[in-house]
Chain A
Amino acid sequence: DARVTQTPRHKVTEMGQEVTMRCQPILGHNTVFWYRQTMMQGLELLAYFRNRAPLDDSGMPKDRFSAEMPDATLATLKIQPSEPRDSAVYFCASGSRTGGINEQFFGPGTRLTVL
């Protein structure tokens, strides 16, 4: 069945290292969202793409975070350099604007720990 996939599922790294997270949206979905979830802040939107074009990245720290969609089957979220405060679960979600409720389907998440 169709689902959003994310890699890696877990990542432990040291402060200062680059981290790249990948997401494959559901085939045919034209909107992709990146969220970060922590106990303190809950689920926060970092960036949002429609038809591969970035629409909103206001929730993302610009100095160290970047999000791209090289093609319709791949979205990436990069942190460089990483800091301990970036430790969180990062979710990718995809949706379709072709009618209906347009709910978002979430991937399993990448659990990031920055030491």
Chain B
Amino acid sequence: GQNIDQPTEMTATEGAIVQINCTYQTSGFNGLFWYQQHAGEAPTFLSYNVLDGLEEKGRFSSFLSRSKGYSYLLLKELQMKDSASYLCAVRDGTAGNKLTFGGGTRVLVKP
């Protein structure tokens, strides 16, 4: 089975940096995804890690350590539009590659 933990809520200031941590336990790890979800909208894909290390994509970066069952999403130069929920999801290669989502971290960016 899967167990995914991430903080419920975080607050940061416009222009700052925020790091959202995600820890997971899984039986058949086959990749970790981060999705962004604005209130009332669908989740949209942000990043993907399957090997250890850092993946950078503009202002967003995602890190993975498979041995520690740990990932983080780093949001730099925060903008007001970054206020959203960020969902960590783990793919299980032994279960048809389905995703299990964490509860999401709601990030509030203040001026």
Contact = CB atoms under 8 A, between A and B. Distances in A.
B43 A43 contact: yes
B103 interface: yes
B44 A106 contact: yes
A2 interface: no
Interface residues of A, number: 21
A104 interface: yes
Contact of A102 (B41, B95, B97, B103): B97
B82 to A, nearest CB: 19
Chief secondary structure at chain A's binding surface: strand
A55 B102 CA distance: 22
B99 A42 contact: no
Interface in A61-115: 91, 97, 101-109
B63 interface: no
Contact of B102 (A31, A42, A103): A42
Given A42-B103, A43-B87, A91 B42 contact: yes
A8 to B, nearest CB: 15
Interface residues of B, number: 19
Contacts of B29: none
Given A42-B104, A45-B100, A105 B95 contact: no
Interface in A14-36: 31, 33
Interface in B91-111: 95-104
Given A43-B87, A101-B48, A48 B43 contact: no
Interface in A40-62: 42-45, 48, 50, 55-56
A104 B41 CA distance: 15
Nearest to B91: A102
B95 A103 contact: no
A107 B98 contact: no
A87 to B, nearest CB: 15
A58 B45 CA distance: 25
B86 interface: no
Interface string B36-58: 00000111110010000000000
B33 interface: yes
Contacts of B96: 48, 50, 55-56
